[in-house]
Structures are given as C-alpha cells and as structure tokens.
Structure 1
Amino acid sequence: MRLATSYIPHALYAIAVTSISIHLVSKRRTFEDERANVNARISILESIAEQLRSGKPINDDEVERLKRLARDPVKRDEEAMKSKSEEISWKEVFLGQKSQSDSDLSPWEKKDLEKIQKAANES
C-alpha cells in the first residue's frame, strides 16, 4: 500500500504541469490569432485611408464591405446571430425542424411536386 501512495504526489505534479502547458499553448494560439486579426484590421483601415487621401472617387459599397471586414469578429458574429433572429424551440432541437410549407416552395418545385404526385397516383 505504501508503494502506491508514494506515486500520488508525482502523478499530481505531472497532471499539473501538463494542464499548465496545455493552457499556455492555448493562450499563445489565441494571442497569435488576435494579433493576426488586429494586423488585418489595420491593413484594411490603412487601405481605406489611402483611398480617401488619393482623392479618387470611392465606391460606397466597397467602403462598406471593407468596414464590415474591419469590424471585430465577435461583433460580426453577434450581428450574424441578430440577423438570423429565428428562435428555435426545444421541440425542434430534439425532434428536428418543421417541414417546409407550400408557400416556401418555388413555382418550379411546385410543378415538380405535382408531376411526382400524378405519377404516383397513376401507378
């Protein structure tokens, strides 16, 4: 019994060192991703500033696209979630989504569906 308990501190130290190293690697990768994101945002904003300084006519759509790219990714994700704004019930989570209604079908899909129903009725 003494033999098994003598290894417990070493096992705890090994687990602690492994946990700390994994945590540090994760933090390093997060920091590198954030640095790359900031550098990308800076280059986008510099290109917008350069276009504005050059005096050339600037396309508003291009400026809006670049401004969207320069936004913080967290804010972009929040905006995407707000734009969806469709609530999902727990029933749909467990049982699946509701099937599409006829109003969601395009005219071509409706024609194909009618052809399939006619073929099924004839046979």
Structure 2
Amino acid sequence: MIKNYQPNGTGLVSYGFSILDNVAQPGYTKWSIVYDQTNLRVYFRTSTEREIKYADLQKFDFSCSTRVRVLDINFSHPGNVDNFFRSYTTQANRNLIQQSYHNTPNLTSASNAELEPLVLHPETFTCE
C-alpha cells in the first residue's frame, strides 16, 4: 500500500490513516497513530473519536526538569491538542487504570488493591 501512494491531493497523513483503516480489526483496534517524522508531529484518532488530532512535538520540553504531561486521547477536539496536555498525577493514573480494567472483559474482577502496583509503577521511573 505504501508503494502505491500517488500524491494526487490526498495528503500523506490521510493516506496513512487509510492504510491503518484497511488493516484495523473492528471491535479491537482502539486507536490509530501516524507519525510525521519530518515535521515532528504525532497524529492520532480513536475508535470513539474519529476526528484526527495531533501533537506538535517541537513545542514540548522533554528535559528532566519539566513535569510529565498526559492527555486523554478520547476527548472531543480535532486538530492541535498541545494545550490540552495536563501534568501527570498519580490520581489521574489511578483513574485511568481502574477505568480500563473495570471496562475490559476478563479484567473486571481485578480489585483496586490488585491494581495499585500498576498505578504506582510510573513513580519508579527516573529521568537522567
């Protein structure tokens, strides 16, 4: 499919998503991501929010002195989402993990106590 790309008005990002649509597994594919390595952008959409969003990596500070930032990829806002990233918190991670487990078949029986090691795992990382 990549070899067949013809620049006929369809942009590379749209073409990338069309390839991903062709290989998606209905009911299983939860999100799709296209990386623009030239412009340092990450484009994505989810199964529940189909409009394309993107983050401009050139605008992020990846140094160890800055706080880790997170984004709810399922929120409704097409286009640039740089301003929607928020500082990471343990509670935000706890909410995400509990929601993910409690809404996933075969994982719903996991207790919050069993999930707590997953919640706290990011706290073990260091930046060097």
**Which has the bigger relative contact order, CA under 8 A and spacing at least 6?**
1
- Structure showing greater radius of gyration is 1
Q: Which has the higher helix share?
A: 1
Q: Establish whether TM, by shorter chain, passes 0.5.
A: no
> TM-score, length-normalised on structure 1?
0.21
Q: Which has the higher strand share?
A: 2
